[in-house]
Every structure is written in structure tokens, then in C-alpha cells.
Amino acid sequence: MTYTQLKISGLWIVEPKIFADTRGYFTETWKKEEFEQNIGKVYFIQDNESKSSFGVFRGLHYQEGDAAQAKFVRVIAGKVWDIAVDIRKNSPTFGQYESVELSEDNHLQFFIPRGFAHGFLVLSKTAVFSYKVDNIYSPASERTLNCFDMDIAIQFPVEKEILLLSEKDKKGMSLKDIADNRILCKKMCDGK
């Protein structure tokens, strides 16, 4: 696999080797030892999967406090535009984001450490999205960052009017609220 660190510290693209022939393909999507040598130790405890339709935007989600999560995401079927926003309070890139297209064709994977809000937009008719997490889902600790916040100024690859969001995601907090209210846990603020 090829590991490429992005401009924002902590974010990585992982490109697996694809062994293809007329029958199809084979690939290794995660190897603990190799992952740790390149990115570091992350103790994934659960795999999740969702299926969504074109235009669905899920996010920008994060969990605060001890419930914070790192994610390692990929697309099994279809195509998505994936985004991670740095919400680590003391980070020099606080409020900045990185985005990447993940698809069944490019096989790219995206590692998002704790301290980021994460979301994805479905660009194909449907998409099956799969991801590993290093902490359990905690409804009481889950928060949403507003994807339309002008302080982040996300440049979506489609018209914003196309986006389909849940009611919860429509009511996301602003980046200013996150910074002003100091709601991030110490681990996230320290960038750990």
C-alpha cells in the first residue's frame, strides 16, 4: 500500500495495491503492522457500513470528549466526495479542510484522526461506504458542524441545492460556536 500524508497534519490517503485479471481483483485493505509503521497505532474496534443515494450528504460529524473517534474510510460501491475539517482547537490549521474522491474504481482510503469533523457526499446513483472506528458510537457525545458555515467555506463539487441532509445535520453548529464554547476535549485540543 502507498501512504500519503495530506497538507493538514494527521490526514492520510492510503492506496492499496490491486491485483486484477479477467476474473476480477484482489486487494488488501488494511494491515495492522504496515498501518502502524506509516501512520501510527490506532486501535480500531468496529467496522461500519452505510448505503446512500445521490446527493446525500452525511456530516459533518464528530464526537467530543473521551468519545472522540478516528476513522478509516473507503467506498465499496459507487463514488463519494469525502471531507475532514480540522477542529483541533490549538491546531495551526483549525477550520481548514481536506477533501478526496473515494470510489469503487480508485480504491482510495482516507484516514481521519480524532479532532476532525467528517462527512461525505454521494456522487453516484448510490454508494456503499465502509469505515473503521477506534471508539464506540456515543449519542450523548455526538456533534455536528454546519457544512454551510461561511467560516469554513466548503467548495462542494455539486450545487448546494442538490444536497440532501438529515434534520440533525441541517442544525449543525458553527465553527465559531465550537471555538468560543471550548467544547472540544483536551485530547482533541492537544491534537492527540
Which residues are marked as active site?
61, 131
14, 126, 51, 147: CA torsion to nearest 10: 70
Closest CA to 74 of 26, 116, 23, 112: 112
For residues 61 and 73, the answer to whether their CB atoms sit within 8 Å is no
For residues 169 and 58, the answer to whether their CB atoms sit within 8 Å is yes
- Give the number of other Cβ atoms within 10 Å of residue 167's Cβ: 6
Find the radius of gyration of the CA atoms of the chain.
Answer: 16
85, 98, 39, 110: CA torsion to nearest 10: 100
**Measured in Å, how far apart are the chain's first and last C-alpha atoms?**
25
- Give the number of other Cβ atoms within 10 Å of residue 170's Cβ: 12
- Give the number of other Cβ atoms within 10 Å of residue 136's Cβ: 11
